[in-house]
Amino acid sequence: MIRDITIGQYYPVDSPIHRLDPRVKLAGTMLFLISLFVFSGYFGYVIATVFVGAVIKISKVPFRYIVRGLKPVLILLLFTLLFNVFLTREGTELFSWGIIHIYDQGLITAGLMAVRLVLLVLGTSLMTFTTTPNQLTDGLEKGLRGLKKIKVPVHEIAMMMSIALRFIPILIEETDKIMKAQQARGADFESGKLIQRAKALVPLLVPLVVSAFRRANDLALAMEARCYHGGDGRTKMKPLKYKGRDAVAYLILFGYLGLVIGSGFLPL
Amino acid sequence: MKKSMLRTKNLVFEYIRRDEEGNVEDILRALDDVSLEVQKGEFVAILGHNGSGKSTVAKHINALLSPTEGAVFVNDMDTKEEEHLWDIRKSAGMVFQNPDNQIIATVVEEDVAFGPENIGVPTEEIWRRVEESLSAVGMTAYRTHSPNKLSGGQKQRVAIAGIMAMRPDCIILDEPTAMLDPVGRKEVMKTVHELNKIEGVTILLITHYMDEVIDADRVIVMDDGKIVMQGTPRQIFSQVDKLKGYRLDVPQVTELAYELKKQGVPMPDGILTIEEFTAAYTTAKAKVVQGNV
């Protein structure tokens, strides 16, 4: 169950999206996130959905694989849905029972909110599916280079991010192992009330944290042994250089943004 | 004359445990007067029980630890001198026990490139080195794979390639096979021997598996922070009783020969391989049949 988490995992295929410069993808994701919150009409939803759909298609990442990544967000999704359904007091009342009142406007906002959230997760996970953490780090480092002047440790932050991503699957595997070991000795993670379940997690979390620290220590040693000493004087195996396709991608991005903003002025 | 690659001179290292006020509570002597020398191109194994100090020696050679007393020289550079730090780590690469905890990147070739990137190798040269190192450990086919999907032995070979890409004169392997299955162990040991013979890299192998040291040029046995035995594998494994005193085993054939000898079968000391054993046993049997014993 815990292995199903696909957020933040690179999906190795060769596609035009995979080959884009990571800076384009980073900027694209940012623009996409912003675009999700600027549009107001239904038309904006259509454009955003079509855009994500097209990018997914081009990226060659199987749709089912991406959807699996949505599972962890399901609870959040459910909460927003329920809140919107029960707490909106606009439009015509469709149903009322005791203190529960459901309005048509509530259902609509709930539905649209859900679409927005799903698009948000799809958009961001697409970036990590198509970009290796190393590229992502390079992109961040180069894209935010200007911040170094105001003493922001850009390289260090980027390095930490990429290492965190690299260790996600390892720690997940470890969690699985510890869980099984505890279950073999009678631990119960799956039944009982919420508080009991939370308590049952303590014997899982303690060894996990301890081992994460040990790993961090080992990794630091290994990095030092391989002459790591921060970002100064480092060269790159794959230095970032903008190519023609990146310019095209930027054009498409801004076109999309223009379309979304423009759609707000439509009468729909 | 062969040149000295690694040298430790009366090396002492103490772990100091302090209480909350910072007063010294306990001093643990992890290394006690260790002097050893490894020549260029040699394959040396350090053997020892857990806590014998063998890993501590390794960390000194890579300048990850600094000696309390004595000195460590790599290529005649003193590890205590800050300005040599990166040169030392460049010429004496280190491979650790857990392959998962030393792979930094999520793609094999990018991980191999990590070392050269750190020491500022130009881009085209990095590509050349990555290619050469991956082919030296036989992992070229996996260059675009994710390390998470590799077996333990393959991961460890990637880690070795990562060190090779820095073009070291010497590789220190700190129990590289302790977490691997038998197949992975064989893979890694074969790779290490090839690097030693074909690429001429000096190898310092730290291990507690007896089978892995048989093919070494020289074996150093450590116990309780001291060097207690030194010699060729044959010289070391002839002294079964002494080894057992240091809580170390001998290879199974050696043990069998030793036990037979104790029972009165005329077997020579220091048998290391099955072939040697069968040969020696046939002669011994012939002698017994002829009534010479």
B80-97 pLDDT, tens digit each: 888 888 889 889 999 999
Q: Pick A137 or B46 by higher pLDDT.
A: B46
Chain B interface test: which of A227, A236, A240 (most B C-beta within 10 Å)? A227
Gap from B99 CA to chain A (nearest CA, Å): 10
Q: What's the rounded mean pLDDT across residues A122-126?
A: 87
Instruction: Count CB atoms within 10 A of the CB of residue B278.
Output: 12
- pLDDT confidence band for A172 (50 / 70 / 90): confident
Which tokens hold the place of B43? 């394959």
Gap from A11 CA to chain B (nearest CA, Å): 10
- pLDDT confidence band for B20 (50 / 70 / 90): confident
pLDDT for position A5: 54
Q: What's the rounded mean pLDDT across residues A251-261?
A: 88
Q: What's the rounded mean pLDDT across residues A228-256?
A: 86
Whether the per-residue pLDDT at A109 is higher than 80: the answer is yes
How do residues B238-264 score in pLDDT, each as one tens digit?
888 888 888 888 888 888 888 888 888
Q: Which CATH superfamily is domain B4-249 in?
A: P-loop containing nucleotide triphosphate hydrolases (3.40.50.300)
Nearest-CB residue to B117 (from A162, A163, A235): A235
B64 with A218: Cβ contact below 8 A? no
Global pTM value: 0.76
Please report how the helices B123-136 and B152-164 are oriented relative to each other, as an axis angle in degrees rounded to 10. 140
Nearest to B56 by CA among B229, B174, B219: B174
Q: Pick A264 or B28 by higher pLDDT.
A: B28
pLDDT for position A3: 52
Q: Where are the beta strands (DSSP E) in chain B?
A: 4-18, 24-39, 43-48, 69-74, 77-78, 92-95, 170-174, 202-207, 218-223, 226-231
Cα four-point dihedral sign B274, B189, B175, B144: negative
How do residues B119-154 score in pLDDT, each as one tens digit?
989 999 999 999 999 998 989 999 888 888 899 999
Q: What's the rounded mean pLDDT across residues A150-179?
A: 85
pLDDT for position B291: 66
pLDDT for position B189: 92
Chain A interface test: which of B104, B143, B146, B179 (most A C-beta within 10 Å)? B104
Residue B34's beta-bridge partner residues?
B11
Domain ranges (residues) in chain B:
4-249, 251-293
Q: What's the rounded mean pLDDT across residues A57-66?
A: 87
Q: What's the rounded mean pLDDT across residues A215-242?
A: 87
C-beta separation of B221 from B229 below 8 A: yes
Whether the per-residue pLDDT at A99 is higher than 80: the answer is no
Nearest to A206 by CA among A182, A232, A236: A182
